[in-house]
């Protein structure tokens, strides 16, 4: 057992792995990470599945079967990915039985549906029915069109991982959408204690975008602010979380068994080599959160990460000041968040296209 990762878990941070492949499942590697690295959850996305299908031969037999049945590309992707997520849910089941907030495995709706509310709802329901595991989470992007889909899906008792959250304003809207779904679920007589959700707040991409703009401003004052925005943004998100999940509206839901929608720190792999490789783990330690890490970040923290106590609570004023300074040097923060959301959807859409091409090629080869 990694002492450093155990210390992180003991500080109240649920450690999830941002990766999944059939090879990882078959080899027992995922079970090993659960046993030795305190991993209690898994997140996936189109990029992860595209990479998994593009390497090795773990999917060859199933692809031959699907090709033999004349299954189309979209249906093949649906079958392959839901099979992997179902198997991962089974591996994580003991963690879920210990703490139902964890032991979770996420699968994302087709990112091409990010601007289509009704299609997102329909696919979320189909994924939930196909995986057929209570410890699954269906990932829905936090676009404006995604918000009513979140409410509708939560209202039916489906667990949701809300992804691609970048701004505090949108995060507040996500938490409101979640609570609206819980209220509808309660009206329908559902057991609120069985409904779980996380809000995936993206971290490193915020620094990447804002750092680039600070470089373009070019002043010493601007450059001195590099590497500060992402952590400050996440700390403000946590303040918004503690604010939202208090007060009359939430207390009424909690009294009926509702679970808070925990913040999940996503995109925590450091993209700038000048920054510490555990930056977005160490500086975001706080209870009641999830940190989903690519394996490289997980291993880096296991090797040399430090838990220095709660680095988030009570840092709101300091974090606000960072953004005041960034605005003051000429960075348009509203535009930053629009660009990040559009790019986030586009990147997953590109990965989905790559996944589609990979499966199409392999189906043709296997036919």
- Considering the candidates 139, 184, 228, 271, report the single residue annotated as catalytic: 139
Sign of CA pseudo-dihedral 141, 142, 145, 150: positive
Dist CA 158 CA 181 (whole Å) = 10
- Give the H or E element holding residue 107: strand 104-108
Residue 139 is a catalytic residue: yes
Sign of CA pseudo-dihedral 63, 67, 68, 71: positive
Dist CA 344 CA 209 (whole Å) = 12
Q: How many CB atoms lie within 10 A of CB 308?
A: 10
Dist CA 318 CA 267 (whole Å) = 23
Dist CA 38 CA 318 (whole Å) = 32
Burial 181-198 (b: 16+ CB within 10 A, else e): bbbebbeeebebeebbbb
Dist CA 124 CA 159 (whole Å) = 10
Dist CA 73 CA 361 (whole Å) = 9
* Distance (Å) of CA 162 to CA 43, 199, 241, 364: 12, 5, 14, 35
Tokens of 280: 């977005």
Q: How many CB atoms lie within 10 A of CB 19?
A: 23
With H, G, I as helix, E, B as strand and everything else as coil, classify residue 282.
helix
State phi, psi for 163 to the nearest 5 degrees: -110, 170
* Distance (Å) of CA 172 to CA 142, 281, 347: 11, 23, 24
Cross-strand pairs, 200 = 264
User: Between 295-304 and 3-10, two packed helices, what is the crossing angle to 10 degrees?
Assistant: 100
Dist CA 231 CA 217 (whole Å) = 21
By annotation, the residues acting in catalysis are 139
């Amino acid at each position: 057992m990694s002492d450093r990762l155990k210390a992180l878990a003991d500080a109240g941070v649920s450690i999830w792995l941002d990766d999944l492949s059939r090879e990882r499942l078959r080899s027992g590697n995922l079970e090993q990470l659960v046993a030795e690295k305190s991993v209690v959850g898994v997140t996936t996305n189109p990029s992860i599945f595209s990479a998994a299908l593009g390497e090795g031969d773990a999917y060859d037999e199933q692809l031959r079967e699907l090709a033999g049945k004349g299954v189309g590309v979209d249906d093949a992707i649906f079958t392959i990915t839901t099979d992997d997520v179902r198997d991962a849910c089974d591996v994580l089941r003991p963690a879920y039985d210990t703490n139902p907030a964890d032991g979770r495995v996420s699968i994302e709706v087709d990112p091409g549906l990010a601007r289509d509310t009704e299609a997102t709802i329909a696919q979320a329901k189909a994924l939930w029915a196909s995986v057929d595991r209570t410890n699954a989470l269906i990932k829905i992007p936090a676009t404006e069109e995604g918000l009513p889909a979140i409410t509708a899906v939560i209202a039916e008792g489906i667990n949701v991982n809300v992804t691609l959250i970048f701004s505090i304003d949108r995060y507040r809207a996500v938490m409101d959408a979640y609570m609206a779904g819980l209220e509808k679920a309660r009206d329908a007589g559902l057991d609120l204690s069985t409904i779980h959700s996380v809000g995936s707040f993206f971290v490193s991409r915020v620094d990447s975008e804002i750092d680039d703009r600070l470089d373009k401003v070019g002043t010493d004052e601007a450059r001195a602010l590099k590497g500060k925005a992402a952590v400050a943004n996440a700390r403000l998100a946590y303040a918004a979380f503690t604010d939202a999940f208090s007060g009359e509206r939430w207390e009424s839901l909690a009294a009926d068994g509702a679970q808070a929608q925990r913040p999940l720190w996503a995109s925590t792999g450091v993209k700038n080599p000048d920054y510490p490789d555990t930056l977005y783990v160490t500086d975001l330690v706080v209870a009641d959160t999830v940190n989903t890490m690519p394996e490289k970040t997980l291993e880096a923290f296991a090797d040399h990460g430090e838990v220095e106590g709660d680095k988030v609570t009570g840092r709101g004023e300091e974090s606000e000041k960072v953004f005041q300074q960034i605005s003051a040097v000429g960075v348009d923060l509203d535009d930053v968040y629009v660009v990040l959301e559009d790019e986030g959807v586009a990147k997953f859409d590109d990965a989905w296209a790559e996944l589609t091409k990979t499966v199409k090629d392999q189906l043709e080869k296997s036919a």
